[in-house]
Amino acid sequence: MKKIYSRSVDAVEDIRDGMTLMVGGFGLVGIPEQLILALVEKEVRELTVISNNCGVDDWGLGLLLQKRQIKKMIGSYVGENKEFERQVLSGELEVELVPQGTLAERIRAGGAGIPAFFTPAGVGTVVAEGKDKRFFNGKEYVLEEALRADFSLVRAAKGDSAGNLIYNKTAQNFNPMMAAAGKVTIAEVEELAEIGSIDPNEVHTPGIYIQRMIESVQEKRVEKRTVSR
């Protein structure tokens, strides 16, 4: 049985200033909305956040940016957040940009206990500066180190009280690998089910990776609305 919380603010109670967090999602798809709001309410600061991107100006991780709660961002895409751009250009926010595939593999490696790996992505660019390089079969590769986090915050469509999770289509994105790479992983689920109600063949993240859970209603904002005339 996992620790199941009724309030998201209680689930993140021991996340402290200066910690490293992994936060699932791609744009606004699959983000743990209520857990992020709980961090805003908690006013925890000096955070290092590992996520594909930093939300938008008024939702998701963008809310933490507004409150100056993020010290460093490790991600692969920053194009939808003007406040992110402003803080970077003013020197308020430290940023480590990582090729998206490399970011995914660094997180996956962290969850698998692999300390580092070689990849051709980024060779010959600023991404490779200061990193070890080697040739394999005549091709140059750069060494990338795995990523781990004090806490991983993920979101799933459904989970049982043993922590087994099912994600909805592309809302899987970074969530499964981040669930494995956190010392403590908190899952925000839209539907909490009884043990035995989920077909084992449908489980995306086994409960062994999940320490805490909360069932919550998602607002599910649209990141960029496109309509036809």
| Chain centroid, CA 64 distance in Å | 14
**Torsion of Cα atoms, 187 then 181 then 2 then 220, to 10°:** 0
In which domain, by residue range, is 184 found? Answer: 3-215
pLDDT along the chain (229 residues), means of 10: 89 98 96 98 98 93 96 90 92 96 98 98 95 98 98 98 96 98 98 95 97 91 76
Whether residue 225 is contained in a domain is answered as no
Whether residue 221 is contained in a domain is answered as no
Whether residue 9 is contained in a domain is answered as yes
User: Would the pTM of this model clear 0.75, i.e. be above it?
Assistant: yes
Whether residue 52 is contained in a domain is answered as yes
Structure confidence at residue 1 (pLDDT): 57
Nearest to 35 by CA among 179, 177, 146, 164: 179
What is the C-alpha to C-alpha distance for residues 5 and 156, in angstroms, rounded to an integer? Answer: 15
Exposed e or buried b per residue across 32-47, where buried means at least 16 C-beta atoms within 10 angstroms of its C-beta: bbbbbbbbeebebeeb
Is the CB of residue 216 less than 8 Å from the CB of residue 187? no
Whether residue 220 is contained in a domain is answered as no
Q: What's the structural domain count of the chain?
A: 1
Whether residue 222 is contained in a domain is answered as no
CATH number of the domain bearing residue 175: 3.40.1080.10
> How many CA within 13 A on the CB side of residue 160?
17
Whether residue 94 is contained in a domain is answered as yes
Whether residue 144 is contained in a domain is answered as yes
